Chains A and B, each alone.
Chain A
Amino acid sequence: MSQIVKMQGMNKYFGKLHVLKDINLTVEAGEVVVIIGASGSGKSTLIRCVNGLEPFESGKLEVDGHPLAPKGGNQKSLAEIRKEVGMVFQQFNLFPHLTVKKNIMLAPMKVKNTPQVVANGTAERLLQRVGIADQANKYPSHLSGGQQQRVAIARALAMEPRLMLFDEPTSALDPEMIGEVLDVMRELAKEGMTMMVVTHEMGFAREVADRVIYIHEGQIVEEGKPEDVFDNPQNERTQSFLSRVLKH
């Protein structure tokens, strides 16, 4: 098995704030890693480092064989990494001036010079796959939150990524729409996509994750199979976090 993400001794600061502390983490191809932790613990920052949306100060990072240097170092591989890593945001971040289909076609056409007819076919196929083929020519604002997030997933998939990052993809959704998005993610995991998922959906984590990572104040304090982390947490921080979130 090959390693898609390799982090070694990574540190990240926002000014004086030490946000990620000595992170060591590898993600194997096909693995689904779910990252949990309290708000402000550094979950978003961690996955945003993977595609270079946040630079880091020290340590080593390699994504699908491309080394990414700390801030100030050689960032040449960044373009390559971003082509291979898809990201889904809490707020969807769809392009409101483009139709759903054009949202999906944009990156393949601009980045890979995919011909329009090909990009169009891919977009239709992906929309089918996420279950909203009938919305192709609408603008994002005319879709429900759940539909928008499924478009965002399709948009990322159009680049045929080797790794998908999800930053709380269901946190901005009305409860009744969470399921449809998680279903798409579950499918994706089943098909073998490598995924790093930040989520508060513990049921999803237990069911889909190969590994669960608990972050506390920028440090990985617990890591293991979902059943081990959820049912038998070793660290007392993890225990208190889980007892808080699993109560309701």
Chain B
Amino acid sequence: MEFQFQFDWQAAIQSIPFLLKGIPYTLLISFGGLAIGFLLGIIFGLLSINKRWFLRWPATAYIEVFRGTPILVQVLFIFYGLPDLVGGPIDPLTAGIAAIALNSGAYISEVVRGGVQSIDKGQTEAGLSLGLSRTQTFWSIVWPQAFRRMIPPLGNQAIVSIKDTSLFSVIGVGELVRQGQVYIANTFTAFEVYFVVAIMYLMITLSLSLILRLVERRGLTSV
């Protein structure tokens, strides 16, 4: 008996239009979540290096909790658990964006902390000695330099978060993987469809890598 598997190009190509409908959701959840996550990362990252313990501790707690638990559990908690708390349903899209925001926010906090701490103390001293306030010194001297160093790890986090959205098929957001599952339920062409899904993720993440590399190269010329 001979088992032969044939990759059905026809089936793969036919699935593309349906799968493409998932991409706006994947992108919206990824980049919507990352945008909020970036703000959270700046806020909690800076709080986590504050001298005052009552600012530092809550920030550290947030970071540890969201880095120390799986994002799948986080999104299930938000989607199925939180409605009990807030007394109303949360739609899957909001839950997905919130999960990416909170999760990436924790990692980005660490990126921000590392970036800021990597800037030589002499920079702050020079700013202060020129008469700039602590706030002015931070935002016009330390932050621009720290941000430049943060670009590669931020890009890394963006790629991780984009891939994380694939888990949100479990709460029924019509993102890429969910579209694939729905399509396969009717056509039984799992191999071809997941192959196409994988290529689509790869195209998104590769474009991002490319953009980041260009940004980085431009950033380097001025430092």
Tell me if A91 and B122 are in contact (CB < 8 A). yes
Tell me if A96 and B223 are in contact (CB < 8 A). yes
B133 — nearest CB in chain A belongs to which residue?
Answer: A79
A107 within 8 A of B: yes
- Distance (Å) between the CB of A185 and the closest chain B CB? 17
- A155-B141 Cα distance, complex, nearest whole Å: 14
Tell me if B222 and A107 are in contact (CB < 8 A). no
Residue numbers in B under 8 Å from A1 (CB-CB): none
Evaluate whether A110 and B132 lie within 8 angstroms (CB atoms) in the complex, with A89-B122, A89-B126, A91-B122 already known: yes
Evaluate whether A110 and B123 lie within 8 angstroms (CB atoms) in the complex, with A85-B129, A159-B130 already known: no
- A205-B123 Cα distance, complex, nearest whole Å: 28
A109 — nearest CB in chain B belongs to which residue?
Answer: B140
B148 within 8 A of A: yes
Tell me if A53 and B125 are in contact (CB < 8 A). yes
A111 within 8 A of B: yes
- A94-B129 Cα distance, complex, nearest whole Å: 12
- Distance (Å) between the CB of A70 and the closest chain B CB? 18
B189 within 8 A of A: no
- A17-B106 Cα distance, complex, nearest whole Å: 39
Residue numbers in A under 8 Å from B145 (CB-CB): 95-97
Tell me if B125 and A83 are in contact (CB < 8 A). no
Residue numbers in A under 8 Å from B223 (CB-CB): 96-97, 139, 141
Evaluate whether A83 and B131 lie within 8 angstroms (CB atoms) in the complex, with A96-B223, A97-B144, A139-B222 already known: yes
Tell me if A107 and B141 are in contact (CB < 8 A). no
Q: Mask for A140-159, Cβ within 8 A of B = 1, else 0?
A: 01000000000010011001
Q: Of the candidates A93, A94, A97, which one forms a contact with B125 in the assembled complex, judged by CB atoms under 8 Å apart?
A: A93
- A159-B129 Cα distance, complex, nearest whole Å: 10
B50 within 8 A of A: no
- Distance (Å) between the CB of A149 and the closest chain B CB? 12
A81 — nearest CB in chain B belongs to which residue?
Answer: B131
- A156-B125 Cα distance, complex, nearest whole Å: 12
Evaluate whether A107 and B131 lie within 8 angstroms (CB atoms) in the complex, with A96-B223, A97-B148 already known: yes
Tell me if B128 and A107 are in contact (CB < 8 A). no
- A147-B210 Cα distance, complex, nearest whole Å: 37
B94 within 8 A of A: no
- A152-B145 Cα distance, complex, nearest whole Å: 18
Q: Mask for A95-114, Cβ within 8 A of B = 1, else 0?
A: 11100000000110011000
- A165-B128 Cα distance, complex, nearest whole Å: 14
Q: Of the candidates A82, A97, A141, A165, which one forms a contact with B130 in the assembled complex, judged by CB atoms under 8 Å apart?
A: A82
B121 — nearest CB in chain A belongs to which residue?
Answer: A93
Q: Of the candidates A51, A95, A111, A165, which one forms a contact with B123 in the assembled complex, judged by CB atoms under 8 Å apart?
A: A95
Tell me if A82 and B126 are in contact (CB < 8 A). no
Q: Of the candidates B120, B125, B128, B140, which one forms a contact with A106 in the assembled complex, judged by CB atoms under 8 Å apart?
A: B140
Q: Can you show 14 pairs from A to B with CB atoms below 8 A apart?
A: A51-B128, A52-B128, A79-B131, A79-B133, A82-B128, A87-B129, A91-B122, A95-B123, A95-B145, A96-B223, A106-B130, A106-B132, A139-B223, A141-B223
Using a CB–CB cutoff of 8 Å, the interface residues on chain B facing chain A are 120, 122-123, 125-126, 128-133, 136, 140-141, 144-145, 148, 222-223
Top 10 A-B pairs, shortest CB-CB distance: A107-B130, A93-B126, A87-B129, A93-B122, A83-B131, A111-B131, A82-B131, A97-B144, A97-B145, A110-B136
